[in-house]
């Protein structure tokens, strides 16, 4: 018994998703992207459970100390001190058992690149006059412009690095507990807690929707059909999120929720925490004083 004729084989191959027509379908690409996003969240949780320096500290101390370091980065003007603070973020990542390479890529690929794009126009003589370093006519790069852009980028990278350390070295429950202990309004903590959980749930829902379409569709369809399908799914997800929020709120009220988020974990500061607080305060004060007194402007 012979197989299909060559013309039929060509039609079948053209109808199969991802075969001879260049790459994956829209549903497959979206599902893979969502899967990577959820995987990054789970990876962050894995980092937060490692026996590193920051993970061993009290959540309140960890949060306040890293915020203090980030604020210090915003107060420093010297690029050399900012580079020193960037180095501090890498050292803290290393001693906290976080992948330094992955940490650096995350910071530079997001905050660093964005800051560079924002600061790039200010390097030209048209915006920042001064001694020309690279002659490009009206778009010549000037020494004050390059220094200003470098200062902005390193400041953003340092602050973003400290912020990422909070995310990667603290479990979400620890962060909420620390915010509650620091007297943040209960409604804000509760909103953050529910938003985090529901975002993950909705991401999984969207991923399953796209995988279901991928598994039940032979051809990838036209661009117009895909756009219409995505628009309909967006409306469905919005409706589902609103309904889920109402259901969760009703369930919380029926179980006696009155506002503050309770926790069975008691936070206690030990000797390690007090030593870390002292080092952070002394270090941040020294950085600001050196920047103000010794470093050139």
Each residue of 145-179: pLDDT tens digit? 888 889 999 999 999 999 888 888 888 778 888 88
> Phi-psi bin for 21: left (phi > 0), alpha (psi -120 to 50), beta?
alpha
Residue 121 has pLDDT above 70, yes or no: yes
Q: How large is the average pLDDT for residues 14-43?
A: 56
Q: What is the pLDDT of residues 260-288, one digit of tens each?
A: 666 666 777 888 889 999 999 999 999 99
Residue 137 has pLDDT above 90, yes or no: no
**Tokens encoding 81:** 């001190």
What is the number of structural domains in the chain? 1
Q: For residue 5, tell me if it sits in a domain.
A: no
Q: For residue 199, tell me if it sits in a domain.
A: yes
Q: What is the pLDDT of residue 6?
A: 46
* Residue tagged 């890498």 (tokens): 90
Q: What is the pLDDT of residue 12?
A: 38
Q: How confident is the model at residue 256 (pLDDT cuts 50, 70, 90)?
A: confident
Q: What is the pLDDT of residues 54-69, one digit of tens each?
A: 888 888 888 899 889 9
Closest CA to 178 of 267, 68, 269, 92: 267
**Tokens encoding 4:** 């299909």
Host domain of residue 99: 25-43+57-293
Q: How confident is the model at residue 11 (pLDDT cuts 50, 70, 90)?
A: very low
**Tokens encoding 124:** 């030209």
Q: For residue 52, tell me if it sits in a domain.
A: no
DSSP state of 273: H
Residue 84 has pLDDT above 90, yes or no: yes
d(CA 100, CA 236): 40
Q: For residue 257, tell me if it sits in a domain.
A: yes
Q: What is the pLDDT of residue 169?
A: 86
Q: For residue 213, tell me if it sits in a domain.
A: yes
Residue 22 has pLDDT above 60, yes or no: no
Q: For residue 48, tell me if it sits in a domain.
A: no
Q: Across all residues in the chain, what is the average pLDDT?
A: 78
Phi and psi dihedrals of 136, rounded to 5?
-135, 35
């Amino acid at each position: 018994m012979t197989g299909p004729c060559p013309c039929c084989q060509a039609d079948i191959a053209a109808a199969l998703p991802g075969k001879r027509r260049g790459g994956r379908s829209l549903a497959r690409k979206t599902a893979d992207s969502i899967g990577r996003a959820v995987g990054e969240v789970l990876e962050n949780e894995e980092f937060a459970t490692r026996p590193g320096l920051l993970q061993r500290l009290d959540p309140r101390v960890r949060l306040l100390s890293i915020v203090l370091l980030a604020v210090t980065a915003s107060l420093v003007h010297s690029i050399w001190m900012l580079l020193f603070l960037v180095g501090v973020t890498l050292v803290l990542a290393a001693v906290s058992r976080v992948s330094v390479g992955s940490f650096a890529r995350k910071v530079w690929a997001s905050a660093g690149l964005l800051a560079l794009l924002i600061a790039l126009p200010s390097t030209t003589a048209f915006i920042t006059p001064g001694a020309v370093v690279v002659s490009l006519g009206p778009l010549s790069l000037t020494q004050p412009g390059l220094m200003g852009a470098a200062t902005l980028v390193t400041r953003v990278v340092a602050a973003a690095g400290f912020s990422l350390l909070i995310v990667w070295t603290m479990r979400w429950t620890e962060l909420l507990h620390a915010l509650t202990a620091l007297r943040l309004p209960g409604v804000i903590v509760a909103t953050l807690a529910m938003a985090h959980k529901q975002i993950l749930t909705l991401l999984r829902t969207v991923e399953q929707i796209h995988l279901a379409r991928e598994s039940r569709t032979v051809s990838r369809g036209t661009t117009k059909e895909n756009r219409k399908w995505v628009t309909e799914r967006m409306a469905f997800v919005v409706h589902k999120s609103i309904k889920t929020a109402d259901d969760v709120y009703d369930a919380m009220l029926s179980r006696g929720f009155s506002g503050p988020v309770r926790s069975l974990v008691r936070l206690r500061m030990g000797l390690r925490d007090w030593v870390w607080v002292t080092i952070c305060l002394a270090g941040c004060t020294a950085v600001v004083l050196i920047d103000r007194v010794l470093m050139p402007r």
